[in-house]
Structure 1
Amino acid sequence: MKAIFDGTSVLTGKDGRILYDQSGYGRPEGDGLHLAPQEALYLVHRQKLEVPGYTFDTLLAEFAEQSNFLRSFLVYRDLRERGYVVQTGPHDFRVFRRGEKPGTGESLYLVRVLSERDPVRFARLIEEVVTSRNMRKQYVLAVVDDEEELTYYEIKIQKLADAAVPAPQVAKAEALLVGKSAIIRVPPQSDLERAGFGKRFDDERLMLAPVELLYLMERGILQAKKDGVLISNAEYFAWASQSDLELATKDKVYTELRRHDFTPRTGYKFGHHFRVYCGKNVHSDLLVHAIEKEAVMPMSVISRSVRMAHSVKKKMLFGCVHTTGIQFVEFARIKL
Protein backbone atom coordinates (compact mmCIF):
# COMPACT_ATOMS: atom_id res chain seq x y z
CA MET A 1 0.00 0.00 0.00
CA LYS A 2 1.39 3.41 -0.96
CA ALA A 3 1.07 6.85 0.59
CA ILE A 4 2.23 10.37 -0.29
CA PHE A 5 4.34 12.53 2.00
CA ASP A 6 4.14 16.20 1.03
CA GLY A 7 6.57 17.45 3.67
CA THR A 8 3.91 17.94 6.34
CA SER A 9 1.27 15.22 5.97
CA VAL A 10 1.08 11.57 4.95
CA LEU A 11 -1.97 10.70 2.87
CA THR A 12 -3.15 7.38 1.45
CA GLY A 13 -5.48 6.66 -1.43
CA LYS A 14 -8.80 4.81 -1.20
CA ASP A 15 -7.08 1.56 -0.37
CA GLY A 16 -5.81 3.11 2.84
CA ARG A 17 -9.27 3.15 4.42
CA ILE A 18 -8.85 -0.52 5.31
CA LEU A 19 -6.13 0.53 7.77
CA TYR A 20 -8.68 2.64 9.61
CA ASP A 21 -11.55 0.17 9.39
CA GLN A 22 -9.54 -2.83 10.57
CA SER A 23 -6.91 -1.41 12.89
CA GLY A 24 -7.82 2.17 13.73
CA TYR A 25 -4.94 3.88 11.94
CA GLY A 26 -5.26 7.52 10.90
CA ARG A 27 -8.32 9.63 10.30
CA PRO A 28 -10.51 9.50 7.18
CA GLU A 29 -9.90 12.43 4.85
CA GLY A 30 -11.75 12.57 1.55
CA ASP A 31 -11.53 9.14 -0.09
CA GLY A 32 -8.29 8.32 1.69
CA LEU A 33 -6.66 8.47 5.07
CA HIS A 34 -4.60 11.09 6.89
CA LEU A 35 -1.83 9.51 8.95
CA ALA A 36 0.01 11.12 11.87
CA PRO A 37 3.81 10.93 11.47
CA GLN A 38 4.04 8.27 14.22
CA GLU A 39 1.42 6.14 12.48
CA ALA A 40 3.02 6.45 9.05
CA LEU A 41 6.49 5.62 10.30
CA TYR A 42 5.22 2.63 12.28
CA LEU A 43 3.40 1.26 9.22
CA VAL A 44 6.52 1.70 7.10
CA HIS A 45 8.53 -0.08 9.79
CA ARG A 46 6.03 -2.96 9.76
CA GLN A 47 6.17 -3.02 5.94
CA LYS A 48 2.47 -2.32 5.66
CA LEU A 49 3.00 1.00 3.94
CA GLU A 50 5.34 2.40 1.29
CA VAL A 51 6.13 6.08 0.90
CA PRO A 52 7.76 6.57 -2.54
CA GLY A 53 11.10 8.35 -2.32
CA TYR A 54 11.63 7.39 1.32
CA THR A 55 13.03 4.44 3.23
CA PHE A 56 12.27 3.91 6.89
CA ASP A 57 15.58 5.53 7.82
CA THR A 58 15.13 8.63 5.67
CA LEU A 59 11.52 9.07 6.79
CA LEU A 60 12.61 8.73 10.42
CA ALA A 61 15.30 11.37 9.83
CA GLU A 62 12.70 13.65 8.24
CA PHE A 63 10.20 13.33 11.11
CA ALA A 64 12.94 13.55 13.75
CA GLU A 65 13.33 17.22 12.82
CA GLN A 66 10.10 17.73 14.78
CA SER A 67 10.66 18.47 18.45
CA ASN A 68 10.45 15.37 20.68
CA PHE A 69 9.33 13.16 17.78
CA LEU A 70 11.63 10.22 18.48
CA ARG A 71 10.44 9.67 22.05
CA SER A 72 6.86 10.10 20.91
CA PHE A 73 7.35 7.44 18.24
CA LEU A 74 8.93 5.03 20.73
CA VAL A 75 5.87 5.31 22.97
CA TYR A 76 3.50 4.93 20.03
CA ARG A 77 5.34 1.82 18.83
CA ASP A 78 5.38 0.30 22.31
CA LEU A 79 1.64 0.83 22.79
CA ARG A 80 0.84 -0.61 19.37
CA GLU A 81 2.99 -3.66 20.02
CA ARG A 82 1.15 -4.18 23.31
CA GLY A 83 -2.03 -4.60 21.29
CA TYR A 84 -3.58 -1.15 21.73
CA VAL A 85 -5.12 1.07 19.07
CA VAL A 86 -3.55 4.52 19.47
CA GLN A 87 -4.47 7.90 18.04
CA THR A 88 -2.89 11.31 18.56
CA GLY A 89 -4.45 13.83 20.97
CA PRO A 90 -5.86 15.33 23.08
CA HIS A 91 -2.61 15.33 25.11
CA ASP A 92 -0.10 13.27 23.10
CA PHE A 93 -2.05 10.04 22.58
CA ARG A 94 -5.37 8.50 23.39
CA VAL A 95 -5.29 4.76 23.81
CA PHE A 96 -8.28 2.52 23.24
CA ARG A 97 -9.21 -0.54 25.23
CA ARG A 98 -7.76 -3.73 23.77
CA GLY A 99 -10.03 -5.00 21.01
CA GLU A 100 -11.65 -1.58 20.49
CA LYS A 101 -10.98 1.18 17.98
CA PRO A 102 -12.41 4.52 16.81
CA GLY A 103 -16.04 4.32 15.83
CA THR A 104 -16.73 1.07 17.67
CA GLY A 105 -15.21 1.65 21.11
CA GLU A 106 -13.89 4.28 23.49
CA SER A 107 -10.44 5.25 24.68
CA LEU A 108 -9.20 4.20 28.10
CA TYR A 109 -5.98 6.20 28.60
CA LEU A 110 -4.87 9.73 27.77
CA VAL A 111 -1.08 9.69 27.52
CA ARG A 112 1.45 12.49 27.90
CA VAL A 113 5.03 11.73 26.76
CA LEU A 114 8.05 13.06 28.68
CA SER A 115 11.77 12.43 28.86
CA GLU A 116 13.48 11.59 32.14
CA ARG A 117 14.92 15.12 32.25
CA ASP A 118 11.74 17.02 31.47
CA PRO A 119 10.32 19.26 34.21
CA VAL A 120 6.90 18.38 35.60
CA ARG A 121 4.83 21.51 36.08
CA PHE A 122 2.29 20.53 38.70
CA ALA A 123 -0.30 23.19 37.83
CA ARG A 124 -0.43 21.95 34.23
CA LEU A 125 -0.30 18.32 35.32
CA ILE A 126 -3.27 18.77 37.67
CA GLU A 127 -5.23 20.54 34.95
CA GLU A 128 -4.65 17.65 32.53
CA VAL A 129 -5.49 15.01 35.14
CA VAL A 130 -8.76 16.78 35.99
CA THR A 131 -9.62 17.07 32.29
CA SER A 132 -8.94 13.35 31.82
CA ARG A 133 -11.06 12.47 34.85
CA ASN A 134 -13.94 14.58 33.54
CA MET A 135 -13.68 12.61 30.28
CA ARG A 136 -13.67 9.37 32.32
CA LYS A 137 -10.18 8.45 31.15
CA GLN A 138 -7.05 7.46 33.04
CA TYR A 139 -4.19 9.93 32.77
CA VAL A 140 -0.81 8.32 32.10
CA LEU A 141 2.70 9.72 31.86
CA ALA A 142 4.94 7.78 29.47
CA VAL A 143 8.54 8.58 30.39
CA VAL A 144 11.40 7.80 28.00
CA ASP A 145 14.83 7.62 29.62
CA ASP A 146 18.21 8.33 28.00
CA GLU A 147 18.55 4.69 26.92
CA GLU A 148 15.12 4.81 25.26
CA GLU A 149 13.52 2.61 27.95
CA LEU A 150 9.89 3.36 28.79
CA THR A 151 8.16 3.67 32.16
CA TYR A 152 4.46 4.36 32.58
CA TYR A 153 2.97 6.25 35.53
CA GLU A 154 -0.69 6.58 36.35
CA ILE A 155 -1.46 9.98 37.89
CA LYS A 156 -4.49 10.55 40.12
CA ILE A 157 -5.86 13.42 42.18
CA GLN A 158 -6.62 11.68 45.44
CA LYS A 159 -9.53 12.71 47.64
CA LEU A 160 -8.48 11.67 51.11
CA ALA A 161 -10.95 9.64 53.13
CA ASP A 162 -11.08 10.07 56.88
CA ALA A 163 -9.21 7.58 59.01
CA ALA A 164 -11.30 4.70 60.29
CA VAL A 165 -10.39 5.54 63.89
CA PRO A 166 -10.73 9.20 65.02
CA ALA A 167 -7.69 10.72 66.71
CA PRO A 168 -7.90 11.00 70.52
CA GLN A 169 -8.79 14.38 72.03
CA VAL A 170 -5.85 16.31 73.46
CA ALA A 171 -6.01 18.39 76.64
CA LYS A 172 -4.69 21.94 76.71
CA ALA A 173 -1.15 22.32 78.03
CA GLU A 174 1.91 24.54 78.16
CA ALA A 175 5.23 23.86 76.40
CA LEU A 176 8.73 25.24 76.75
CA LEU A 177 10.60 26.28 73.62
CA VAL A 178 14.03 24.67 73.22
CA GLY A 179 15.52 25.95 70.02
CA LYS A 180 12.88 25.65 67.31
CA SER A 181 11.31 22.62 69.03
CA ALA A 182 9.50 22.40 72.36
CA ILE A 183 9.30 20.09 75.32
CA ILE A 184 6.26 19.38 77.44
CA ARG A 185 6.12 17.49 80.72
CA VAL A 186 3.68 14.61 80.30
CA PRO A 187 3.78 11.01 81.50
CA PRO A 188 4.33 8.11 79.05
CA GLN A 189 1.28 7.21 76.94
CA SER A 190 -0.18 10.68 77.33
CA ASP A 191 -3.05 11.83 75.15
CA LEU A 192 -0.53 13.73 72.98
CA GLU A 193 1.40 10.55 72.26
CA ARG A 194 -1.74 8.54 71.65
CA ALA A 195 -2.79 11.19 69.13
CA GLY A 196 0.55 10.74 67.34
CA PHE A 197 2.35 13.88 68.46
CA GLY A 198 5.93 14.20 69.61
CA LYS A 199 8.89 12.00 70.39
CA ARG A 200 9.60 10.79 73.91
CA PHE A 201 12.68 12.68 75.23
CA ASP A 202 12.72 10.85 78.54
CA ASP A 203 10.18 9.44 81.02
CA GLU A 204 9.04 12.92 81.98
CA ARG A 205 9.27 14.90 78.77
CA LEU A 206 7.88 14.80 75.24
CA MET A 207 9.60 16.72 72.44
CA LEU A 208 7.51 18.34 69.72
CA ALA A 209 8.78 19.14 66.22
CA PRO A 210 8.11 22.66 64.83
CA VAL A 211 5.30 21.57 62.49
CA GLU A 212 3.57 19.74 65.37
CA LEU A 213 3.99 22.65 67.75
CA LEU A 214 2.69 25.12 65.18
CA TYR A 215 -0.37 22.95 64.53
CA LEU A 216 -1.18 22.63 68.25
CA MET A 217 -0.62 26.35 68.88
CA GLU A 218 -2.86 27.34 65.97
CA ARG A 219 -5.66 25.28 67.52
CA GLY A 220 -5.25 26.74 70.98
CA ILE A 221 -4.22 23.37 72.44
CA LEU A 222 -0.71 24.43 73.43
CA GLN A 223 0.77 27.65 74.65
CA ALA A 224 4.52 28.01 74.21
CA LYS A 225 6.90 29.97 76.42
CA LYS A 226 10.33 31.33 75.64
CA ASP A 227 12.40 32.75 78.49
CA GLY A 228 9.30 32.62 80.67
CA VAL A 229 7.21 34.70 78.26
CA LEU A 230 4.32 33.40 76.17
CA ILE A 231 5.06 33.57 72.46
CA SER A 232 2.29 34.12 69.91
CA ASN A 233 1.61 31.88 66.92
CA ALA A 234 2.80 34.57 64.53
CA GLU A 235 5.99 35.18 66.49
CA TYR A 236 6.80 31.48 66.61
CA PHE A 237 6.08 30.98 62.91
CA ALA A 238 8.28 33.94 61.92
CA TRP A 239 11.09 32.66 64.12
CA ALA A 240 10.88 28.98 63.13
CA SER A 241 10.54 29.68 59.41
CA GLN A 242 13.90 31.47 59.39
CA SER A 243 15.58 28.06 59.41
CA ASP A 244 12.86 26.21 57.47
CA LEU A 245 11.75 28.04 54.34
CA GLU A 246 9.26 25.24 53.58
CA LEU A 247 7.47 25.54 56.93
CA ALA A 248 4.44 27.41 55.58
CA THR A 249 3.82 24.81 52.87
CA LYS A 250 4.47 21.90 55.23
CA ASP A 251 2.13 23.40 57.82
CA LYS A 252 -0.78 23.57 55.36
CA VAL A 253 -0.29 19.99 54.18
CA TYR A 254 0.23 18.73 57.75
CA THR A 255 -2.98 20.46 58.83
CA GLU A 256 -4.95 18.91 55.97
CA LEU A 257 -3.66 15.43 56.82
CA ARG A 258 -4.59 15.96 60.47
CA ARG A 259 -8.07 17.11 59.39
CA HIS A 260 -8.64 13.55 58.14
CA ASP A 261 -7.40 12.11 61.45
CA PHE A 262 -4.21 10.87 59.80
CA THR A 263 -0.95 10.86 61.75
CA PRO A 264 1.88 12.57 59.85
CA ARG A 265 5.41 12.00 61.14
CA THR A 266 8.69 13.08 59.61
CA GLY A 267 9.52 11.33 56.35
CA TYR A 268 13.17 12.40 56.37
CA LYS A 269 14.52 8.84 56.20
CA PHE A 270 12.51 8.36 52.99
CA GLY A 271 13.57 11.69 51.51
CA HIS A 272 10.17 13.36 51.97
CA HIS A 273 8.39 15.65 54.39
CA PHE A 274 6.00 13.14 55.93
CA ARG A 275 5.33 9.48 56.40
CA VAL A 276 1.64 9.15 57.14
CA TYR A 277 -0.32 6.63 59.18
CA CYS A 278 -3.92 6.38 57.99
CA GLY A 279 -5.35 3.85 60.43
CA LYS A 280 -4.30 1.02 62.68
CA ASN A 281 -1.39 -0.20 60.56
CA VAL A 282 1.91 -0.52 62.39
CA HIS A 283 3.70 0.84 59.33
CA SER A 284 2.93 4.10 57.57
CA ASP A 285 0.71 4.04 54.48
CA LEU A 286 1.80 7.12 52.56
CA LEU A 287 4.82 9.24 51.75
CA VAL A 288 3.78 12.87 51.27
CA HIS A 289 5.85 15.76 49.97
CA ALA A 290 4.50 19.30 50.38
CA ILE A 291 4.94 21.69 47.44
CA GLU A 292 3.36 24.81 46.01
CA LYS A 293 0.92 24.09 43.18
CA GLU A 294 3.06 26.17 40.81
CA ALA A 295 6.12 24.06 41.64
CA VAL A 296 8.27 22.57 38.88
CA MET A 297 10.12 19.31 39.58
CA PRO A 298 12.36 17.21 37.32
CA MET A 299 10.79 13.91 36.29
CA SER A 300 13.96 12.15 37.46
CA VAL A 301 13.33 13.36 41.03
CA ILE A 302 9.72 12.16 40.92
CA SER A 303 10.87 8.81 39.56
CA ARG A 304 13.21 8.31 42.52
CA SER A 305 10.37 9.22 44.88
CA VAL A 306 7.99 6.70 43.34
CA ARG A 307 10.66 4.00 43.35
CA MET A 308 11.36 4.62 47.04
CA ALA A 309 7.67 4.55 47.95
CA HIS A 310 7.13 1.35 46.00
CA SER A 311 10.13 -0.34 47.67
CA VAL A 312 8.68 0.31 51.13
CA LYS A 313 5.09 -0.51 50.08
CA LYS A 314 3.66 2.98 50.38
CA LYS A 315 1.80 5.34 48.08
CA MET A 316 3.62 8.45 46.85
CA LEU A 317 1.64 11.69 47.09
CA PHE A 318 2.57 15.30 46.47
CA GLY A 319 0.48 17.73 48.48
CA CYS A 320 0.06 20.74 46.19
CA VAL A 321 -0.83 23.91 48.11
CA HIS A 322 -2.99 26.48 46.34
CA THR A 323 -5.17 29.38 47.40
CA THR A 324 -8.23 27.24 46.67
CA GLY A 325 -7.05 24.35 48.84
CA ILE A 326 -4.72 21.37 48.69
CA GLN A 327 -4.71 18.72 45.99
CA PHE A 328 -2.93 15.44 46.59
CA VAL A 329 -1.35 14.10 43.41
CA GLU A 330 -0.49 10.39 43.41
CA PHE A 331 2.17 8.92 41.11
CA ALA A 332 2.20 5.14 40.65
CA ARG A 333 4.12 2.98 38.20
CA ILE A 334 1.85 0.79 36.11
CA LYS A 335 2.18 -1.94 33.50
CA LEU A 336 -0.06 -1.41 30.50
Structure 2
Amino acid sequence: MTYKLDKEGIIITEEKLAAQIYNKGRTGTPLEKGQLLLRKEEALYCDYRNDIDLSEDTINKFKKDNLTHIVYRDLKERGLMVKVDEHGLRLYDRKKSSKGQSSAVILAKNFKYEIDFNDIFTELERGLERRIQIAIIDIEEDVVYYITKIVEWPETKLKKDGNIIINDPEVKELIDKGYQINSGLKFGTHYRIYNYESKHAPWLIHIVKDGITWLDITRMVRVGHGVNKTIVLAYKKRWISLEWIKP
Protein backbone atom coordinates (compact mmCIF):
# COMPACT_ATOMS: atom_id res chain seq x y z
CA MET A 1 0.00 0.00 0.00
CA THR A 2 1.35 3.43 -0.95
CA TYR A 3 -0.17 5.30 1.99
CA LYS A 4 -1.28 4.96 5.58
CA LEU A 5 -4.12 6.70 7.36
CA ASP A 6 -3.34 9.62 9.66
CA LYS A 7 -5.53 11.70 11.98
CA GLU A 8 -5.21 14.64 9.56
CA GLY A 9 -5.61 12.61 6.36
CA ILE A 10 -3.09 10.19 4.90
CA ILE A 11 0.68 9.85 4.67
CA ILE A 12 2.17 8.81 1.34
CA THR A 13 4.88 6.33 2.29
CA GLU A 14 6.29 5.61 -1.17
CA GLU A 15 9.03 8.18 -1.74
CA LYS A 16 8.76 8.35 -5.53
CA LEU A 17 4.98 8.85 -5.47
CA ALA A 18 5.31 11.42 -2.69
CA ALA A 19 7.75 13.45 -4.79
CA GLN A 20 5.53 13.24 -7.88
CA ILE A 21 2.48 14.50 -6.00
CA TYR A 22 4.32 17.32 -4.24
CA ASN A 23 6.03 18.51 -7.40
CA LYS A 24 2.67 18.70 -9.15
CA GLY A 25 1.38 21.97 -7.69
CA ARG A 26 3.06 21.77 -4.27
CA THR A 27 0.33 19.50 -2.97
CA GLY A 28 0.80 18.23 0.58
CA THR A 29 3.38 18.73 3.34
CA PRO A 30 6.77 16.97 3.03
CA LEU A 31 7.81 14.80 5.99
CA GLU A 32 10.96 12.94 6.96
CA LYS A 33 12.17 9.95 4.94
CA GLY A 34 10.61 11.31 1.75
CA GLN A 35 7.06 10.84 2.98
CA LEU A 36 4.22 13.27 2.31
CA LEU A 37 1.27 14.32 4.46
CA LEU A 38 -1.95 14.85 2.53
CA ARG A 39 -4.73 16.41 4.54
CA LYS A 40 -8.24 15.20 3.80
CA GLU A 41 -8.93 17.82 1.12
CA GLU A 42 -5.61 17.13 -0.59
CA ALA A 43 -6.09 13.37 -0.46
CA LEU A 44 -9.55 13.63 -1.99
CA TYR A 45 -8.18 15.83 -4.76
CA CYS A 46 -5.35 13.41 -5.50
CA ASP A 47 -7.88 10.57 -5.66
CA TYR A 48 -10.04 12.67 -8.02
CA ARG A 49 -6.93 13.22 -10.16
CA ASN A 50 -6.12 9.47 -10.07
CA ASP A 51 -2.76 10.03 -8.38
CA ILE A 52 -3.82 7.69 -5.58
CA ASP A 53 -6.65 5.23 -5.04
CA LEU A 54 -8.58 5.82 -1.84
CA SER A 55 -11.03 3.24 -0.58
CA GLU A 56 -14.71 4.10 -0.74
CA ASP A 57 -14.90 4.10 3.06
CA THR A 58 -12.00 6.56 3.28
CA ILE A 59 -13.57 8.84 0.66
CA ASN A 60 -16.89 8.90 2.51
CA LYS A 61 -15.14 9.53 5.81
CA PHE A 62 -13.08 12.42 4.43
CA LYS A 63 -16.08 14.02 2.71
CA LYS A 64 -18.38 13.86 5.73
CA ASP A 65 -19.17 17.37 7.04
CA ASN A 66 -16.34 18.71 4.90
CA LEU A 67 -17.15 21.46 2.40
CA THR A 68 -13.58 22.66 2.02
CA HIS A 69 -12.61 19.74 -0.21
CA ILE A 70 -14.99 21.06 -2.89
CA VAL A 71 -13.45 24.53 -2.75
CA TYR A 72 -9.93 23.11 -2.67
CA ARG A 73 -10.60 21.07 -5.81
CA ASP A 74 -12.18 24.05 -7.58
CA LEU A 75 -9.21 26.32 -6.85
CA LYS A 76 -6.66 23.69 -7.87
CA GLU A 77 -8.51 23.07 -11.12
CA ARG A 78 -8.24 26.81 -11.80
CA GLY A 79 -4.46 26.47 -11.53
CA LEU A 80 -4.18 28.36 -8.23
CA MET A 81 -1.82 27.74 -5.35
CA VAL A 82 -3.90 26.70 -2.36
CA LYS A 83 -2.82 25.04 0.88
CA VAL A 84 -4.68 23.37 3.72
CA ASP A 85 -3.67 23.76 7.35
CA GLU A 86 -5.29 23.42 10.75
CA HIS A 87 -7.06 26.77 10.22
CA GLY A 88 -8.58 25.96 6.84
CA LEU A 89 -7.83 27.00 3.26
CA ARG A 90 -5.16 29.53 2.32
CA LEU A 91 -4.79 31.00 -1.16
CA TYR A 92 -1.40 32.21 -2.43
CA ASP A 93 -0.43 34.54 -5.24
CA ARG A 94 1.02 32.64 -8.16
CA LYS A 95 4.31 34.53 -8.00
CA LYS A 96 4.85 34.04 -4.25
CA SER A 97 6.13 31.09 -2.26
CA SER A 98 3.57 29.01 -0.38
CA LYS A 99 5.93 29.17 2.60
CA GLY A 100 5.12 32.85 3.13
CA GLN A 101 1.89 34.52 4.19
CA SER A 102 -1.15 33.68 2.13
CA SER A 103 -2.93 36.36 0.13
CA ALA A 104 -6.40 35.18 1.16
CA VAL A 105 -8.27 33.06 3.70
CA ILE A 106 -11.12 31.02 2.23
CA LEU A 107 -14.27 30.26 4.24
CA ALA A 108 -16.41 27.52 2.64
CA LYS A 109 -20.20 27.82 3.01
CA ASN A 110 -23.21 25.88 1.72
CA PHE A 111 -25.69 28.16 -0.08
CA LYS A 112 -28.56 26.78 2.04
CA TYR A 113 -26.88 27.46 5.40
CA GLU A 114 -27.76 30.32 7.69
CA ILE A 115 -24.97 32.87 7.99
CA ASP A 116 -22.79 32.72 11.09
CA PHE A 117 -21.74 36.36 11.36
CA ASN A 118 -19.58 35.68 14.41
CA ASP A 119 -17.44 33.35 12.30
CA ILE A 120 -16.92 36.07 9.68
CA PHE A 121 -16.25 38.90 12.12
CA THR A 122 -13.78 36.76 14.07
CA GLU A 123 -11.67 36.31 10.94
CA LEU A 124 -12.04 39.91 9.79
CA GLU A 125 -11.18 41.40 13.16
CA ARG A 126 -7.85 39.62 13.25
CA GLY A 127 -6.73 42.57 11.16
CA LEU A 128 -4.46 40.65 8.83
CA GLU A 129 -3.45 42.07 5.46
CA ARG A 130 -4.76 39.05 3.56
CA ARG A 131 -8.22 39.08 2.06
CA ILE A 132 -11.13 37.16 3.46
CA GLN A 133 -13.02 35.30 0.74
CA ILE A 134 -16.32 33.48 1.14
CA ALA A 135 -16.80 30.45 -1.12
CA ILE A 136 -20.48 29.59 -1.64
CA ILE A 137 -21.18 26.03 -2.84
CA ASP A 138 -24.35 24.97 -4.65
CA ILE A 139 -25.99 21.55 -5.09
CA GLU A 140 -23.89 20.83 -8.21
CA GLU A 141 -20.69 21.67 -6.30
CA ASP A 142 -20.12 24.82 -8.34
CA VAL A 143 -18.48 27.58 -6.31
CA VAL A 144 -19.02 31.35 -6.27
CA TYR A 145 -16.53 33.60 -4.48
CA TYR A 146 -16.95 36.89 -2.64
CA ILE A 147 -14.52 39.21 -0.90
CA THR A 148 -15.78 40.48 2.43
CA LYS A 149 -14.48 43.46 4.41
CA ILE A 150 -15.39 45.43 7.49
CA VAL A 151 -16.83 48.77 6.38
CA GLU A 152 -15.99 51.95 8.27
CA TRP A 153 -17.82 55.16 7.47
CA PRO A 154 -15.71 58.33 7.60
CA GLU A 155 -17.36 61.68 8.20
CA THR A 156 -18.78 63.33 5.09
CA LYS A 157 -21.24 66.14 4.54
CA LEU A 158 -24.73 66.08 3.16
CA LYS A 159 -25.15 66.82 -0.52
CA LYS A 160 -26.53 70.30 -1.18
CA ASP A 161 -29.77 68.81 -2.46
CA GLY A 162 -29.85 66.21 0.31
CA ASN A 163 -33.06 65.78 2.24
CA ILE A 164 -33.14 63.12 4.95
CA ILE A 165 -36.63 61.71 5.43
CA ILE A 166 -35.59 58.34 6.86
CA ASN A 167 -35.78 57.78 10.59
CA ASP A 168 -34.32 54.31 11.03
CA PRO A 169 -32.11 53.63 14.08
CA GLU A 170 -30.25 50.96 12.11
CA VAL A 171 -28.72 53.61 9.83
CA LYS A 172 -28.63 56.54 12.26
CA GLU A 173 -24.82 56.35 12.31
CA LEU A 174 -24.69 57.14 8.59
CA ILE A 175 -27.17 59.99 8.87
CA ASP A 176 -25.17 61.49 11.74
CA LYS A 177 -21.99 61.28 9.66
CA GLY A 178 -23.53 63.19 6.77
CA TYR A 179 -24.54 60.51 4.27
CA GLN A 180 -27.55 60.85 2.02
CA ILE A 181 -29.88 57.86 2.41
CA ASN A 182 -32.62 56.93 -0.03
CA SER A 183 -34.81 53.89 -0.56
CA GLY A 184 -33.10 50.88 -2.13
CA LEU A 185 -36.34 49.12 -3.05
CA LYS A 186 -35.73 49.16 -6.80
CA PHE A 187 -32.49 47.26 -6.16
CA GLY A 188 -34.10 44.80 -3.74
CA THR A 189 -32.37 46.25 -0.67
CA HIS A 190 -33.36 48.58 2.16
CA TYR A 191 -31.32 51.66 1.27
CA ARG A 192 -28.95 53.21 -1.21
CA ILE A 193 -26.26 55.48 0.18
CA TYR A 194 -24.57 58.59 -1.21
CA ASN A 195 -21.65 60.59 0.10
CA TYR A 196 -20.91 64.22 -0.76
CA GLU A 197 -18.96 63.43 -3.92
CA SER A 198 -21.16 60.74 -5.42
CA LYS A 199 -23.60 61.38 -8.27
CA HIS A 200 -24.81 57.78 -8.12
CA ALA A 201 -25.12 55.73 -4.94
CA PRO A 202 -21.93 53.66 -4.46
CA TRP A 203 -23.48 51.43 -1.78
CA LEU A 204 -26.61 49.39 -1.23
CA ILE A 205 -27.42 48.74 2.42
CA HIS A 206 -29.38 45.72 3.58
CA ILE A 207 -30.35 45.29 7.22
CA VAL A 208 -29.89 41.63 8.16
CA LYS A 209 -30.73 39.55 11.20
CA ASP A 210 -29.93 36.04 12.33
CA GLY A 211 -31.54 33.41 10.11
CA ILE A 212 -30.63 34.86 6.72
CA THR A 213 -29.04 32.34 4.33
CA TRP A 214 -26.16 32.58 1.88
CA LEU A 215 -28.63 32.16 -0.97
CA ASP A 216 -30.31 35.40 0.12
CA ILE A 217 -26.94 37.13 -0.01
CA THR A 218 -25.99 35.82 -3.44
CA ARG A 219 -29.15 37.39 -4.85
CA MET A 220 -28.25 40.78 -3.39
CA VAL A 221 -24.66 40.70 -4.55
CA ARG A 222 -25.73 39.66 -8.05
CA VAL A 223 -27.97 42.71 -8.31
CA GLY A 224 -25.33 45.01 -6.79
CA HIS A 225 -22.65 43.78 -9.17
CA GLY A 226 -24.95 44.30 -12.13
CA VAL A 227 -25.47 47.99 -11.30
CA ASN A 228 -21.88 48.62 -10.15
CA LYS A 229 -22.73 49.06 -6.48
CA THR A 230 -21.26 47.48 -3.36
CA ILE A 231 -23.58 45.49 -1.11
CA VAL A 232 -23.12 46.35 2.56
CA LEU A 233 -24.80 44.24 5.24
CA ALA A 234 -25.79 45.96 8.48
CA TYR A 235 -25.78 43.43 11.30
CA LYS A 236 -26.26 44.61 14.89
CA LYS A 237 -24.73 48.01 14.08
CA ARG A 238 -21.71 46.44 12.39
CA TRP A 239 -21.03 46.67 8.69
CA ILE A 240 -19.50 44.28 6.18
CA SER A 241 -19.28 44.53 2.41
CA LEU A 242 -19.53 41.65 -0.04
CA GLU A 243 -18.28 41.81 -3.63
CA TRP A 244 -18.14 39.10 -6.28
CA ILE A 245 -14.64 38.04 -7.30
CA LYS A 246 -13.12 35.67 -9.81
CA PRO A 247 -10.28 33.81 -8.01
TM-score (norm: length of structure 2): 0.86
Aligned partner of residue 197 in structure 1, secondary structure: coil
**Which string of whole-angstrom CA distances, capped at 9 and with x for unpartnered residues, describes residues 88-115 of structure 1?**
2454301111143433x43111001111
Deviation at 1:145, TM superposition (A): 0.8
Correspondence for 2:158 among 161, 167, 171: 167
Aligned partner of residue 125 in structure 2, secondary structure: helix
Correspondence for 1:307 among 214, 219, 222: 222
Aligned partner of residue 117 in structure 1, secondary structure: coil
Corresponding residue of 2:128: 135
Deviation at 1:34, TM superposition (A): 1.4
1:88 equivalent to 2:91? Answer: no
Deviation at 1:7, TM superposition (A): 8.2
Q: How large is the Cα RMSD of the aligned pairs?
A: 2.6
TM-score (norm: length of structure 1): 0.65
Identity percentage of aligned residues: 24
Query: Structure 1 residues 335 and 303 mapped into 2: Cα distance closer, same or farther (>3 Å)?
Result: same
2:9–2:43 contact (8 Å) kept in structure 1: no
1:75–1:113 contact (8 Å) kept in structure 2: yes
Q: What is the count of residue pairs matched by the alignment? A: 244
Query: Structure 1 residues 270 and 91 mapped into 2: Cα distance closer, same or farther (>3 Å)?
Result: farther
Runs of 4+ in 1 over 6 A off after TM superposition: none
Gaps of 5+ in 2: none
Deviation at 1:123, TM superposition (A): 2.5
What one-letter code is carried by the residue in structure 1 that aligns with 2:109? L
2:21–2:51 contact (8 Å) kept in structure 1: no
In our comparison, the structure showing a higher alpha carbon Rg is 1
Correspondence for 1:123 among 118, 128, 131: 118
Gaps of 5+ in 1: 169-190, 199-208, 212-249
1:95–1:108 contact (8 Å) kept in structure 2: yes
Corresponding residue of 1:229: none
Aligned partner of residue 153 in structure 1, secondary structure: strand
What one-letter code is carried by the residue in structure 2 that aligns with 1:159? E
Q: For the residues of structure 2 that align with 1:270 and 1:12, how far apart are their CA atoms?
A: 52
What one-letter code is carried by the residue in structure 1 that aligns with 2:107? R
Aligned partner of residue 189 in structure 2, secondary structure: coil
Deviation at 1:72, TM superposition (A): 2.5
Correspondence for 1:29 among 9, 28, 31: 31
